[in-house]
Amino acid sequence: MTGPGQVTPVRARAEAQQQAAVAVPAPAFIPACPGAGKTHVITSRHLQLPRRRLRQGRALISFTRVARDQMIRRCRKTGRADLVQAPHFIGTLDSFLWEFLVKPLRAADPVPRLLESWASIKAPVEDVDRVISLHRFPMTIDPSQNPAGEAVAWDKLRYETRQLIEASSYSRRAWEKRIFDTRKSWCEQGYHTGHEARFLALWNLRNAKAAATLLPPLLSRFSEVMVDEAQDCSAADLAILQLLHNAGLPLVLVGDPDQAIYAWRGAEPQALRSFAAGLSPTTHPLTGNWRSSPVICGLAATLRTGQSPPDTSVVRDDATPVLLLPARFAASGGRHLHAPSGASLFDTFGALAKEYAVQAQDCLVTAFKYATLPGINREKPDTSAISSLAWARTTVNTPGVSGEDLARACLIAARVLFGYWYPEQVGGPDRISAAHGLPANQVNRSAFAFLHSLPPPHKKWGPQVWQAMKAWPPLPGAAPQGKKGLPAGVPTVARRQVTTGMRTNIVHQLKGDEADGVLLLLPDAGSVQRWATGDPATDEVLRVWYVAVTRARRLAAIALLEEETDALTRLLTERQIPVRVV
């Protein structure tokens, strides 16, 4: 392995590319391969003070809170806490649109609020023959129309919701009307999600009077707006960015079209390429991969559009082969077997990784769907109130859970208690707390203690929860009305966890993540056929696998159906990728 301080020609070139990307004037597009050091480039650029005017700032926009927090941490680590404060802005695209293009034109009363999702509040779609929460209906925006078209993405409903709708005697049109009416009534109470923020931002920018109010403060505040992971921009996002670019806001987009894995949200690799071409005639690509070994760069190239050559591995020269593990997959969950030995697939992978000096705690196990993975203790977004509460109860009793999960658990408990204590009041716990003058720490303490008072969830948990709710000391202003707010039904109790000692997550949650060893599970028949003949430009599943394997630093392993192993071995060997079938 090349020493970290040693400057090889490959490293010198990769550093020169990074420096060019740090210095390029806006507007610009910086296409970056996996592991190119995008975060390094973006924060380095930010650490150089905005040069235009003294009081101008820079906006650093990402798509996830995790990416936002990483940028904030890097600025703080370099001793530049000032760069995370105004006039700068570091946040998600949703919050940027909301702060600068929507909120300034909303009425101050009711207080306008941006929610992470409709799941954060009680927002049932009612007056149809079944009650379904608003957040279960994903929506799309078509920016090619003016005003932009909005529709329910019927083909993107989750299985449970689809079942409910199919069994309903109401037509989709009737449902759509109720869905939009419900949404409208929540917007009138001040609540919005990222979807509404986009719709309204587009509306405002297309309206001359609104744009004349919003744009001057934006242009004078920011000398530059940088968008990370730009491949995740939907058509509506690109339409908004186009209007901002036309208005003279200097944009820098950084992204990897090959990692576009949000096509269902309207992100298409080609749309970004066309948009970028209009920003600037020249690009400043980053083609050095600082993360992965040459073997992994080669493996990734087999999953990429246009047969482009593998990226250059900058700091590694180890030749650990790609491991192929013939597997027998269980129908769901994590009880998959290593076919040749009949042992647990994860134990087998763990032992193999050790042979290459990679420890289990430095490995990631990933797949397209949660159902393929060993039990992940997570709150499912679509779940019933009683199942959410069961998740929250389990979470507060699990040692070592993240602060974020604890906060979410408290919020769920507060939502359930408030539903009972304040049945007449709409809105999330924050709004109800404000209405009753309840301090946040008092609410949290009560919610946390309530969760701890509950017995472990089981099939007949509901009545016990009900007893506990009735007995729990109410907060000021509580006015329960009989059984209103009772979280009904049987909780879905998580299966017993299969512990692998490895981090486990679906690929969509691994953006920007990395690990020494990565095991990708391909349980579906026809996966190798897809790998061999599919076109990554149009087949998002191939791009998802691409994101998965490019998380690996030294060891990439693929578990696949026994009968497909030979075909994948042949395919990779033909492309000169060293393979070990175990």
Ligand X SMILES: Nc1ncnc2c1ncn2[C@@H]1O[C@H](COP(=O)(O)OP(=O)(O)OP(=O)(O)O)[C@@H](O)[C@H]1O
Site of interaction with ligand X (CB under 6 A): 15, 18, 32, 34-40, 256, 290-291, 512, 514, 550
Give buried/exposed letters for 502-530 (b at 16+ CB in 10 A, else e).
bbbbbbeebbbebbbbbbbbbbbeebbee
Smaller CB distance to ligand X: residue 140 or 550?
550
Q: What is the smallest separation between the CB atom of 3 and ligand X, expressed in angstroms? A: 12
Number of H-type helices and E-type strands within the chain: 20, 20
Instruction: Select 215 or 547, whichever has its Cβ closest to ligand X.
Output: 547
CB of 403 to ligand X, least distance (A): 23
Give bridge partners of residue 325 from the DSSP assignment.
559
The secondary structure element, H or E, covering residue 403 is helix 403-421
Name the residue among 524, 577, 526, 515 with its Cα closest to residue 550. Answer: 515
C-beta closer to ligand X: residue 18 or 223: 18
Cα–Cα distance between 514 and 363 in angstroms, integer? Answer: 9
- Cα(231)–Cα(561) distance, integer angstroms: 31
What distance in Å separates the CA atoms of residue 283 and residue 518, rounded to the nearest whole number? 31
User: In whole angstroms, what is the distance from residue 183 CA to residue 325 CA?
Assistant: 48
Nearest residue (CB) to ligand X, 40 versus 378: 40
Instruction: Report in angstroms how near the CB of residue 438 gets to ligand X at its nearest.
Output: 41
Q: Minimum Å distance from CB 508 to ligand X?
A: 13
Strand order across the 57-62 sheet: 28-31, 251-255, 222-227, 57-62, 89-92
CA 88/CA 46 separation, integer angstroms:
9
- By beta-carbon proximity to ligand X, the closer residue of 102 and 260 is 260
Q: What is the dihedral of CA 151, 539, 552, 346, to 10 degrees?
A: 90
For residue 91, give the 3-state DSSP assignment.
strand
Q: Which is nearer to ligand X, 91 or 512 (CB)?
A: 512
Taking the least distance from each CB to ligand X, the nearer of 66 and 111 is: 66
Collapse the DSSP code of 323 into the 3-class scheme (helix H, G, I; strand E, B; otherwise coil) and give the result. Answer: strand
Q: Please report how close the Cβ of residue 297 comes to ligand X at its closest, in angstroms.
A: 11
Point out which residues pair with 28 in neighbouring strands: 252
SS3 560: strand
Nearest approach, Cβ of residue 11 and ligand X (Å): 8
User: SS3 helix, strand, coil % of the chain, rounded to 5?
Assistant: 45, 15, 40
CB of 203 to ligand X, least distance (A): 32
Q: Which is nearer to ligand X, 296 or 390 (CB)?
A: 296
In whole angstroms, the minimum distance from the beta carbon of 61 to ligand X comes to: 15
Q: How far is CA 183 from CA 305, 416, 431, in A?
A: 40, 21, 18
The single residue listed with the structure tokens 């329910």 is 152
Nearer to ligand X, 42 or 218 (CB): 42
> Considering beta carbons, is residue 37 or 523 the nearer one to ligand X?
37
Residue 245's SS3 state is helix
Complex with ligand X: residue 112 or 512, whichever CB lies closer:
512
Of the pair 229, 379, the CB lying nearest ligand X is at 229
| Contact predicate 299/569, CB 8 Å | no
Name the minimum Å distance from CB 52 to ligand X.
Answer: 26
Measured from the CB of residue 356, what is the shortest distance to ligand X in angstroms? 19
Closer residue to ligand X (CB): 388 or 550: 550
Shortest spacing between CB 93 and ligand X, in angstroms: 17
Check: CB of residue 366 under 8 Å from CB of residue 519.
yes
Report the alpha-carbon angle 28-31-33, nearest 5: 155
The minimum distance between CB 418 and ligand X, in angstroms, equals 39
Instruction: Using alpha carbons only, give the angle 436, 441, 443 rounded to the nearest 5 degrees.
Output: 50
Q: Which residue of this chain has its Cβ atom nearest to ligand X in the complex?
A: 37
Cα distances (Å, whole numbers) of residue 19 to 13, 14, 74, 118, 256:
10, 9, 18, 42, 18
Q: Please report how close the Cβ of residue 80 comes to ligand X at its closest, in angstroms.
A: 18
